[in-house]
Amino acid sequence: MKLKKIIGRTLLGLLLVIVVLAVIYRDLVGYGWMQLQGQLKVVREAVPLEEFVALPTTTEEQKEKIKIIQEAKQFAFGELGINYSENYSTIFDQEGKPSMFVVTACDPYSFRSHLWNFPVVGRMPYKGYFIREKAIAEYENMKEQGYDAGLRTAGGWSTLGWFQDPVLSNMLNRSEGDLASLIIHELTHGTLFVKDSVTFNENLATFIGDNGAVLFLENKYGKGSEAVTRYQNQLADEITFKQYMLGAAKALDSLYKGMNETPDATKQKLKAELIERIKVNYDTLNFLFERYSGYFSDFTPNNTFFMSMLRYNAQQDVFKKEMDEKFNGNLKAYLEYLKEKYPSV
């Protein structure tokens, strides 16, 4: 009887702790439950790629893109050192609509992101929603608190092994190289993820994705082939675009650091003037393709836009230099080295 009482009191104590934590973190619990429901809906409704290919409504172009995904996965596992998983072996039909929305927020006069705290993965500078109205409400909430806020759709995401990540049908609208890069990017997250190091994680996934896609196309079509050259030209445009934006972010950062004691009204004026110059000077850039032409014709960027550029691209030269110097440009050897150096949590 005494043992039963001890066990009973222990269970009661644990229950009280759980209740207290649920009350204290009720917003996080509610958000987690909402996200779980959204993720489960995607997982439940996803069908195997083979089943999707067999549907009479699936076009020949979509079938070809599914084949590219399967080929890119096998190349990633066999030639790049990406850890094997069953991710992207199913597909969720978005019916042409976005399935996930991402909110970001940043101080208006510095590149300091607002961070949301999550279990296991730690602090993150973005928050995802499966429900558009919830995302808009959080976006408006961040603006009301005085932040620069951003709201975008997600082209893909990784749950880091918690679920079997599906292909999103909108991914099939991408070009072959872009699609391979995205798949390798997301698989990299499931291979190496450092807690509380979002900038490192995203920069690395971008680096592995872009460089891995080039190797994938070279393996499939041969070096110097039309497909490889076309993708490398697309990457050249992307590099031109990103380098300009990183330079713009640096200019804004210098402005912010030089006006700590400046009144907010003056800060806003100086910031708006510099961003307008960034938009005007952008039109002097030359691109091989139309993808980046007129980029700012219908919107004005704020700090969340430039923070995103830094988060995904600021360390590309660092990774390339280290890979070339230590591993003679061998991407697989470099990734294996990083996996040992940064064991995933």
Query: b/e per residue, 178-211, with b = 16+ CB within 10 A?
Result: bbbbbbbbbbbbbbbbbeeebbbbbbbbbbbbbb
In whole numbers, what is the pLDDT of the chain averaged over residues? 88
Q: What is the pLDDT of residue 75?
A: 98
Q: What is the pLDDT of residue 162?
A: 66
193 or 49, higher pLDDT: 49
- Nearest residue to 205 (alpha-carbon basis) of 300, 338, 60: 338
> What's the CA gap between 334 and 148, in Å, rounded?
37
Share of residues in the chain with pLDDT > 70 (%): 88
pLDDT at 39 over 90: no
Q: What is the pLDDT of residue 3?
A: 40
Mean of the pLDDT values across residues 14-21? 38
Residue 267 binned pLDDT confidence (cut-offs 50, 70, 90): very high
Residues 6+ apart with CB under 8 A from 327: 333, 334, 337
- Nearest residue to 200 (alpha-carbon basis) of 212, 188, 211: 188
Within 10 Å of residue 308's Cβ, how many Cβ atoms? Answer: 22
Rounded to a whole number of angstroms, the distance between the first and last alpha carbons of the chain is: 42
Structure tokens of 54? 């067999």
> What are the tens digits of pLDDT across the range 151-199?
998 877 666 666 788 999 999 999 999 999 999 999 999 999 888 788 8
Q: What is the pLDDT of residue 4?
A: 43
116 or 225, higher pLDDT: 225
> What are the tens digits of pLDDT across the range 53-108?
999 999 999 999 999 999 999 999 999 999 999 999 999 998 888 888 999 999 99
> What are the tens digits of pLDDT across the range 129-155?
988 999 999 999 999 999 999 999 887
> Using an 8 Å Cβ cutoff, are 216 and 72 in contact?
yes
pLDDT at 114 over 90: yes
3-state secondary structure 109-171: CCCCECCEEECCCEEECCEEECCHHHHHHHHHHHHHCCCEEEEEECCCCCCCCCCCCCEEHHH
